[in-house]
Structure 1
Amino acid sequence: MLGLTAFYHAITERSGGMEQGIGVDGRAMVTLQANRSGHYVAEGEINGQPVVFLLDTGATDVAISDKTARALGLEFGPRITVMTAAGPAVAWRTRLDRVSLGSLALSDVRATITPGLGREALLGMSFLKYFNLRQEGDRLVLQGGSQKG
């Protein structure tokens, strides 16, 4: 029983939950519940493969670890330097064919491959900027917004 309790705690700490629906204006809508740490963590997909996203409005791009990039068969593009909370880091540019969070999805999304990044992929502004975001207490509502052009 102790093992099951620890497993349940790990899941609830990691992900706060996600609801999907359609807004009154007919646009797709996803509502995320903050986890116990106050972060918005949710399951999504990159190129049809499941990933766990940590929503990060402070991240310019979607960011994934080099391990995840290799598992997805991504091309390591030009080498760049990115600023992280821990200071400058080496990263590589790449493009993601498709990124989805519930019913919200985009094609051809700019991303960075950042060695040493944790298990979660950062769902940054290269995805989020195309949606309307609204915080309601410990819930974050994302709704279909401007079209990617």
Structure 2
Amino acid sequence: MKQDSSQRSIAKLFTHLTWIIILGLFYLLFQDQLLQKNDPNHDLNTVENDQPVVLQRNRQGHYVAPGNINGQPVRFLLDTGATDISIPGALADKLTLIPGRASYASTANGTIKVYDTQLDSVALGGLSLPNVSAHINPHMQGDTVLLGMSFLKHLELTQRGDTLTLKH
């Protein structure tokens, strides 16, 4: 009787392990598809070759892409409604940015105090610009940088369907 109970326990254990392995394989199989829908530009290479950058819109309708600020990797959300690049306060600390003069910015949630800063370089794909104005937003959560017009105004933007092409 003891052996029969032991065999059932082992069978249960193998059944559970089988399901865990199957679920793990499904996760690995669909992980790339989920990443592609939420961040279709995740593999954009940042190289300084002045080549046009072609971005795909994510499933929320935004253009997000990896880039660099002062040679450090960041994640950008393109925002043509933002005057400057807006950097969350915690990320600005990690990037060792120096907050400058306090100013006020109008946002969808009202007017907030931000701090001006100057970025040595900003890069998105093959596009790079030196000396770009930005502000540090201590109220902004997360690690996503709003890539505003202080960078985008220097580029030609062409949108067709779900694709945005940027070039000098």
Identical aligned residues as a percent:
45
Q: How does 1:1-149 map to 2 (within 5 A)?
A: 1=24, 3-4=27-28, 7-8=31-32, 11-17=35-41, 28-117=51-140, 118-144=142-168
* Inter-partner Cα distance in structure 1 for 2:153 and 2:59: 25
* Inter-partner Cα distance in structure 1 for 2:87 and 2:118: 11
- Deviation larger for 64-73 or 114-123: 114-123
Structure 1 unaligned runs (5+)? 21-26, 145-149
Q: Deviations over 1:100-139 (max 9, x none)?
A: 0010000000001001323210000000000000001000
Residue pair 1:98, 1:105 contacting (<8 A) in 2 also = yes
Q: How far apart are 1:56 and its partner, in Å?
A: 0.2
More helix by share: 2
Q: How far apart are 1:5 and its partner, in Å?
A: 6.4
Q: How many residues align?
A: 139
Instruction: Report the TM-score, using the length of structure 2 for normalisation.
Output: 0.75
The residue identity in structure 1 corresponding to 2:122 is V
Report which of the two structures shows the higher radius of gyration computed on alpha carbons.
2
Give secondary structure in 2 for the equivalent of 1:54: strand
Residue pair 1:39, 1:55 contacting (<8 A) in 2 also = yes
* Inter-partner Cα distance in structure 2 for 1:136 and 1:72: 34
Instruction: Report the TM-score, using the length of structure 1 for normalisation.
Output: 0.84
Q: Deviations over 1:33-86 (max 9, x none)?
A: 000111000000000000000000000001101111111111100011111111
More strand by share: 1
- The alignment's C-alpha RMSD in Å is 2.1
Structure 2 unaligned runs (5+)? 1-23
